[in-house]
Every structure is written in C-alpha cells, then in structure tokens.
A = this chain, B = another copy of it.
C-alpha cells in the first residue's frame, strides 16, 4: 500500500511566475526517499480561501501527510500558519519564548545589513511570526520564520500538516527537524521503500520506445515507468518497491540490449558523466565561447570540485576579443566569418593553448533574435572539442527556438560532444 503525500506551495509571486518554485520538486524527492509518494504539488496565491480549499482537496484524496511552503513572513499576506491552525481546528497564541528568539534573529540580521526600521513595526512582525497553534511542534527558525508541524485537533481525522518557510535555504535547513517531529514519524513508520532508477538514451524516437514498452507490458506490472524527451535525450525513469528489483533488472537488461547503440547512461546525468570522466582521467579543460556567452563555463563550474579540472574560459563576443584573447587569426575571421567551423576550431585551439588545458571547447553561432542571414540563419551554431591527443570532435547545428533555447541547446550539445570524445557511446 502506497503512502501518499501532497505539497502546497503558497505565494502569489510563485503563482504568477515571478519566482520559480524550487521547493515542490525538492520536497517531492525527499519524500520519495522516505517512501512517500507525492501525488500533487499545488501552487496557490496568498488568499486564505484558496489555501483552505486546497488543503481540503488533498486531505479528501486520502493524502496522509500535507506539506505547505511559504507564507510565514511578517506581512499581512503571509497567512499560512493561521489558515492551517483553523484547518486543523487548533487555536493560536503567541509563544513568548519563541518571540524572544525570533526578535534576536531579526536584530542580528538588521545589524549585519546595516538596515534601520521602526521598532514597533519590527516587533509586530516578530509577534506574528511567533504565533503558534496549540499542540503544534515548533521547528526552530533557520532564517527568521519558525516552521510548524500541526496535527489535527484531538478527536479529528486527517493528515498532519508540516508548515515550512518559502526561502529554499531555510526550508532545507529545517527539514531534518520536520522529519523528526512525532506526528511525521508516525506517518513515515507506515511507508515502504520506493526505489528509482534511470536510463538515458540519445538517438531513439519516443514512439519506438513506446512500441517496445507495449510488447513488454506483461513483465512491467510492478514498475511505474515514465519517459520524458528533453533536448533530444530520452529519459526513462522507473519507480518500484524493493521486491520488484529483479523485475527492474530484467527490464533494464532487455532495454540495454535492444537499445545498445543509444543508451549512454544507466543513471548519471550527462553533466555527471563528463565531470567524472575529466576527474578520473586527470584531464583539464578550458572553453572559448561566443554565442553562449559563458554558459558552458558556468555549467561546468556548477559542480563542487570542478576547480580540479576546469582551468577557465573566455567569452569572446567581440571579434577583437576572439583575436586578442584566444588567438583566432584575423584571416580566418575575414575569410569564413565569425560563425563558421573554422572559427569554432580556432576558439577550441585557442582556449586549450591559452589556458594550457588538455581539452578545449569552441562554440560560435547566432543565438538570435537578431543577427541571422540567409546563409547563417538564427540557430546556426558550430561546436568543436579538441582533445589531449589531437582528437577533434566537431558538429554543426541548425537549432530552432528562442535565444535562450538556442544557447541552452548549444551547451548541451557541447557536453554530448565532450561525452562522445571522452567516453564513446552514441554520437552527439
């Protein structure tokens, strides 16, 4: 029997897209590891009646644990704690000891930033944040807002509600305390382990895979399989209870044989594969980017420990910069134009030479929306990777979509080119 959880993300700023929700997905993954299956993530604005209706909806579905994020600030539109208290039938009151601790945190914060505020206004905000439903477990603030675990009032049925703050750093810092709360522990005790495995294919049509899955249908009863096509990569994620491990192993083995020429990973992401290959082989890398403007360097250095293999990179938007900083010959620029395989090669060679790296990557193209011509329309991108032993991998792309789509896809393709050069597998 699956134990289900529901997540409610509050905040008009999330609902209207001004702030992306980083909490729902993170919580869904934490809950999965604890054996809980998340059925819904609901984003609602700062309106009490919408939040109330959502809590009722999820509780009515048989959800055994509810989690809310956001709406714990000092302003009037932050109303989660109050709505949850009413939903669970518990009266609220100021917790004086908590009020003192929150006040101390706010004072420290203001001192560090050098901000000043009216003491009465600050005190009112603190009092609001220290107002707690009777019988709730208080989760100590990581920022200024305390979290809560609020079980239904005695004699009432329904799931406990975990009330967490909106800022992702605060929420994550508070999570261990939430999991340790007695009301949450009681739910987790009934949850069974739920495993998750991933296969990644490059160069297989989703419809082809669908046919394979239909043929195997009888053997897949205990596996929950979802496929997702993203930037050309076909990702197959399977979730299953521990006892279905043999069934998954048979499934993965079969797919591995059927799609031997396109499976490039049995778990790690493209970024993880490239990083591991560089680190394990002690190779260093440098980038020479034009249209992607530093995105490849930023993506390579996103990973902790990347300073052991990333030496650096040059973003050379202007032609002068391509010549000066990466030694792209003026004659090559004049003859072939900045967007050409020759310049991609020269950028890769230049990055490799200037940084003294084992590998160099060059990217040049037209990201748009302006700058396209008949011969080189928006989306024309040339990639080149030069390897340690003189190996070269090149690729010309004709991409579609927005400026950000062209830039993102170019960086992903450069990583596939690196993967191909370092590890073999399906061609980029």
Contact = CB atoms under 8 A, between A and B. Distances in A.
Interface string A250-285: 000000000000000000000000000000000000
Interface in A12-26: 12-21, 24-26
Contacts of A120: 211
A294 B320 contact: no
Contacts of A28: 15-17
B203 A115 contact: yes
B301 A75 contact: no
Nearest to A42: B42
Interface stretch (A82-90, A132-140, A310-318, A380-388): A310-318
A228 to B, nearest CB: 4
A24 B43 contact: yes
Contacts of A298: 292-295, 297-298, 315
B304 A293 contact: no
B115 A204 contact: yes
Contacts of A325: 312, 314, 325, 354-355
Interface stretch (A122-130, A156-164, A178-186): A122-130
A interface residue count range (under 10 / 10 to 19 / 20 to 34 / 35 or more):
35 or more
Interface stretch (A44-52, A92-100, A147-155, A415-423): A44-52
A297 B315 contact: yes
A213 B126 CA distance: 16
Contacts of A205: 106, 110, 115, 117, 121-122, 125
A18 B235 contact: yes
Say what secondary structure dominates the interface of chain A: mixed
Interface stretch (A240-248, A329-337, A398-406): A398-406
A360 interface: no
Contacts of A297: 293-294, 297-298, 315
A108 interface: no
Given A41-B42, A50-B39, A237-B18, A76 B210 contact: yes
Given A54-B40, A228-B13, A207 B126 contact: yes
Interface of A: 11-21, 24-26, 28-29, 32, 38-47, 50, 53-54, 57, 61, 73-77, 106, 110, 113, 115, 117-118, 120-122, 124-126, 169, 203-214, 224-230, 232, 235, 237, 286-287, 289, 292-298, 300-302, 304-307, 310-318, 320-321, 324-325, 354-356, 368-371, 400-405, 407
19 contacts: A13-B230, A15-B38, A17-B26, A18-B25, A40-B42, A74-B210, A75-B209, A75-B227, A124-B211, A125-B210, A126-B207, A287-B315, A292-B298, A293-B310, A297-B297, A302-B407, A307-B371, A311-B320, A312-B317
